[in-house]
Amino acid sequence: MEKPIYNKKNFILPDSPRSMSCYHAKVMEDGIMKLTIHDCKRSIQLKNDLNNPEEIQEAIEKLTNFANGILDLLHFIQNEYATTQH
């Protein structure tokens, strides 16, 4: 039985003429998960083999912690900086 795939790419600031920031989230047929985030000339990639039960749990923990960290930063910026702008 063939495993499901996931493939989503998107610009992070799609309407900005100055930003090429984007992400590419992918789960390939072989069960390898990759999340690549590009910003300017830098990129990071999270990778896990979803054929391995330990790595499935690791992927879930990585993505959960990353998402929570992003939301925490978002809330900090909204509360501390967005409200002080004139």
Is this structure's pTM higher than 0.75?
Answer: yes
DSSP letters of 26-63?
EE-TTSEEEEEEEETTEEEEEEEETTSHHHHHHHHHHH
Read off the tokens for 24: 């590419």
pLDDT (0 to 100) of residue 86: 53
pLDDT tens digits for 23-75?
999 999 999 999 999 998 899 999 999 999 999 999 999 999 999 999 999 99
Q: How confident is the model at residue 8 (pLDDT cuts 50, 70, 90)?
A: very high
